[in-house]
Structure 1
Amino acid sequence: MLTEISREKNSTAGVGNTEQSDRRAYRTGDTPAAVKVLGGTRANEKRFNISSILLWLAIAALVMLAIPVYQGHWYKSGNGWNYFSYWIGIIGSVMMLLMLLYPIRKHAKFARNWGALRYWFMLHMMFGIGGPILVLFHTTFHIKSLNATISLSSMLLVALSGIIGRFIYRHIHRGLYGRHSDLKELQKSVNSSQEKINALLMDAPDISHKLKHFSDLALTHEGAFSTRVWRFVTLSWYRRKLTAECSGDLRKAVILLAKSQHWSAHEQETKWHEAVQKVKDYLEAVQEAAQFSTYEWMFRLWHIAHSPFVWLLGFSAIVHVIAVNMY
């Protein structure tokens, strides 16, 4: 590994050219093609961190809004055209009704020219979040009747099911609205990443052994059902733990090499980040390939369970609206 890092700057082979383009990409924030496939760039990590921060800020804001609404300081829950809560309940219900346009656009032949499917999916997710939130504020977080309890429970069940489906979806598709992946493509990602780290780890047998052990453990289909379930659940934790271990080992190796090569502190840090990124990309590619088939199976089961929940929500919402306006 140490020899390879010291030769990177002067390499003229195809792999060397790729490494140079990767280094430029890391400095400028661009995404090299090979890493785009693997989805493990620092730019992606920054976007993920920003998204996580915005998500938690939004949740905190909703909680701050919910407290005075629950206490009845802003408006009261009631039925009728003159109640604010009535109208936000109507808007939330309409938003959830419009969510059905996505499966219509996806499956109905007459709707194929309604525009790009990805935008309908985006609308489906936005309304799937906004609609239930408005309905919750419509109730002022109080349940006063049996039919309201059934309707609200059905809505929360569908919303929770949608969140679970979105979590599974992201593991078998490229990007938020991307195309469906396949196992062969993921295996190519593993092979490509393996080629990138082979030369890097040539002189680091300890790290190489750890990575091989992770690959063998992740990709094996042996063991009892409970063992396979445990392996699936803990694989992500094990990957992060191994990434941290390899990061520390690579740090020590680069420090030793930096002394002999007289690297500056900035150059030493850059070399270390490049080495860690290659290892991280490899581990992520192995995990994706290992868990892909299971997530596909889970997504098929989710589809079977999600549809009845939607019909239950629709029926209970109709009953709720009729009951509210009759009584």
Structure 2
Amino acid sequence: MTTFSIVLPCFNAQATIPDTLDGLTAQTFADWEAICVDDGSTDTTTDLIAQAATADPRIRLLRNPGKGPSAARNFGAANATGEVIAFCDADDIWMPGKLAELAVAFADPSVDAGFGRIGFFTRAPEDATVFSTVPAGDLSIAMLLGENPVCTMSNIALRRRAFETTGGFDATMVHNEDLEWLIRLVGKGARVVGLPSLHTMYRTSTGGLSSDLGAMLSGRARAIETAARFGVAPDGRSHAIHHRYLARRALRLGEGRTLALRHALRGLAHSPTGFFSPLRRGALTLLGSLAALTLPRKTRQFLFS
């Protein structure tokens, strides 16, 4: 049996898919398959994947019988042969040692899923200056309702039986479907551990689903409903941390002069202590939100990217 099945949904990703696939073939742990599920691309995405598959038979190309990233991930997982399913998006890049470190983590039978740290970049991975942190202790629903430390589906791997227990992704959701699924994963008893190493380079963008902050809030409301089924409700601190996260994302996207400040103020209203925990992150977010009121859009994007 293959150790890792990498599920990679893709749609019109010709500009980024070569780098993503290079990140897979550069893995120091070689026992993997990559299931690329195309979601109806109209550019050269499928041609590029087919070329890569010719050079490396571990890469497969499938067509999504449904529509959207959730359906694509579910379909890819249903066709996986590996013991562990690792998700990767078509515009992110894995560090070479990621699968090797995950293999060590999964040697512990109590571990159901794992994730690492993320670097955020715009043009090239080596330009990244912002990196995520991994919390102490196992992942909890409370953590997910604040500033989700997993951050992206490119940063999670789990045993196939754990994925099957979740019932898969909710294909009716377009925004925050990954958060809602993670809550179900943890709520159903999976032990999800954070690893301190840098695993994934996340490509930031001013477009795409993750740029619609209003829709992200609506999706989070669905995720909160799911958390309630497991007896967990977000407290003021969680709301404050989430609005701080949205304020920082608004700054990176360069959206509206006041959008970041509105989220910052909403976070402060929920819990000043939560917003300023840690102090440096909260203070810089608030200062950046105030500075954005007078800075030109391009300057805002440059400073906060």
- Provide the TM-score with structure 2 as the length reference: 0.21
> When you count strand as a share of all residues, which structure comes out higher?
2
Rg comparison, structure with higher value: 1
- Provide the TM-score with structure 1 as the length reference: 0.20
Q: Which has the higher contact order (CA 8 A, sep 6+)?
A: 1
> When you count helix as a share of all residues, which structure comes out higher?
1
